[in-house]
Structure 1
Amino acid sequence: MRGASEQALTAAEDRFEPVLAALGPGAATVGDQLFAVVDLLEAHSSLRRALTDPGATGEAKAALVTGVLGGRVDGKVVDLLAGMVRGRWSSELDLLDAVAHLAAVAVLAAAQAGGDLERVEDELFRVDRLLVANREVRAALADRRTDVSRRLALVRDLLADKVAPATLTLVSRAVAVPRKRSLTAAIIELGRVAAARRRRLVAKVTAASVLTTAQRARVETFLTRRYGRQVQLNVSVDPAALGGLRIQVGADVIDTTVRARLDDARRRLAG
């Protein structure tokens, strides 16, 4: 993916991250719905063409998304896709691949929120090694002449109760909806996405009220500069904070809340 499509995907990822952070483990449901959108786009080439038509306005394409998906999937999914089609895509298949990528990201974000991301990354690596070492299994899973239900049954036989739910979901999708690349290449790519996500720091932020988009951006910029890595914000609201922010990254805590300042003043007066 290059040029306009790459820029459109990057913009979509940036918009999606705060949504995933707010959803926590619930991001898995959004991931499932995005995979359903992938199936819809896969089955209807005319819809893909309409959503990436350079001659149509962004608003017209966004309205088409709302008309097709409104009421069928979560509003967050509709908003994400409407924003995506307002951008420019180099090809209709780039949009399809981008939605599939964001679906996987949502599943991995849910695993991260549940503390399972490192496990999922390791399991994807092990699945890749299993496929490399077992030619017959690899061939059976990748054989498009075999009904997809039989291939998915084989995946369940191999992995069910042995891997995290996110791992099973991602491997099943790679088997059920193969793209141009090989199955092992698809699994390796999923592992890469998981690894990239695991290197993203998670900052727990407590605020007295909901942060605006501009406030979130300022906090993200500050933390990225401080730690030299991308930072995912998990924001909670606690009116008792009264004002300011409490930010925790690992063992590091930055507490500028009014409540913390009052507590500190009380201790000083008492001392």
Structure 2
Amino acid sequence: MRGSSRGAAATVQEAFDAALSGGVDRSGLAEDLFAITSVVDGNASLRRALADPSGEPAAKRALAERLFGGKVGDGAIGLVALAAEQRWADERDFSDTLESTAVSSLLARAEAEGRIDDVEDQLFRFERIVAGDTALRDTLSSRNTDGAGKAGLVATLLEGKAHPETIRLAQQAVRVPRGRRLDRVLAAYLDLAAKRRDELTALVTVASALTEQQAARLRTQLETMYGKSVSLQTVVDPHVLGGIRVQVGDEVMDGTISARIDQARRHVTGN
């Protein structure tokens, strides 16, 4: 986000944190906010009206309260009304913030139950399973497959193997990707989980599994580099041949042999 949207999102985050402290039903709030996001996404005129930076804040708040009052819980109404009062640089940032808050509410429930680490790991493993199975990825990403069918398939894959929050988030990702690739949606959810735990997540790709000592050494190096706690999510990919590739957010450090070969090939061919 840029400009005024960052401040607007921060204001919503503060109100969300206060709602959590006040004992709001976290699962209920998440479902309400997911529903509101879908309504806003599906009506461009409404989205513009609620996120219009030139609009009168009180009028936008009243519009949100009138539209959603009696249809969702008070916690969700309060947050969407507050969001409508803010100044957004881009109307998409408005709905993105509502979605992120919904995801964070489910993650906060997992955190309260002491299982947020598991949920993050399960989401990551689900993403890797989908990435490694072309037929499954195509089915879950296809616009020709109805949302209920996708959600049912996710339930079949994860029931008994993952926590309720993991299953619900995976179902949301496949049912309502909001114009994004599935892997991008899941990556966004994983980023929110890491932020919830006040950690950075490093995606580590290697040809063979790291030993405990190697993982600990890498984690220490990254924590020194970024000045923050870092969790490692490791992908074993024999195609990298050797070396290591580390991605933290948008920053990539590629020291794999395959990357070096590609670099040498480009140098030789001039491409």
With the length of structure 2 as denominator, give the TM-score of the two structures.
0.70
The whole-number CA distance in structure 2 between the counterparts of 1:131 and 1:51 is 36
The answer to whether residue 62 in structure 2 is matched with residue 66 in structure 1 is no
Partner of 2:196: 197
What is the 5 A alignment of 1:1-271? 1-23=1-23, 26-199=25-198
Matches of 2:179 and 2:71, distance apart in 1: 29
1:240 aligns with none
Contact 1:131 1:138 in 2 (8 A): yes
Distance, in Å, in 2 between the alignment partners of 1:197 and 1:83 is 22
Residue type at the aligned position of 2:17: E
SS of residue in 2 equivalent to 1:103: helix
Q: Distance in 2 between matches of 1:180 and 1:150?
A: 18
Higher relative contact order (CA 8 A, sep 6+): 1
Residue-by-residue CA offset, 1:49-97 (whole Å, 9 max, x unaligned): 1101233200000000110111211112111111111111122222111
Partner Cα distance (2:108, 2:186) in 1:
17
Give the gaps of 5 or more residues in structure 2.
200-226, 229-271
The gaps in structure 1 that reach 5 residues or longer are 201-227, 230-271
Structure 1 stretches of 4+ with a deviation exceeding 6 A read none
Residues 135 and 21 of structure 1, relative CA distance in 2, 3 Å threshold: farther
Deviation for aligned residue 1:21? 2.8
Amino acid at match of 1:36: A
Equivalent-residue separation in structure 1 for 2:3 and 2:160 (angstroms): 42
Measured in 2, the distance between the counterparts of 1:89 and 1:55 equals 10
Aligned partners of 1:124 and 1:188 also within 8 Å: no
Identity of aligned residues (%): 35
In 2: Cα distance, 1:188 partner to 1:54 partner: 29
Distance 1:12 1:151 in 2: 31
Q: Normalised by the size of structure 1, how large is the TM-score?
A: 0.70
- Tell me the alpha carbon deviations over residues 113-171 of structure 1, each in whole angstroms, 9 at most, x when there is no partner: 11111110110111111112111111110011222222122111111222111111111
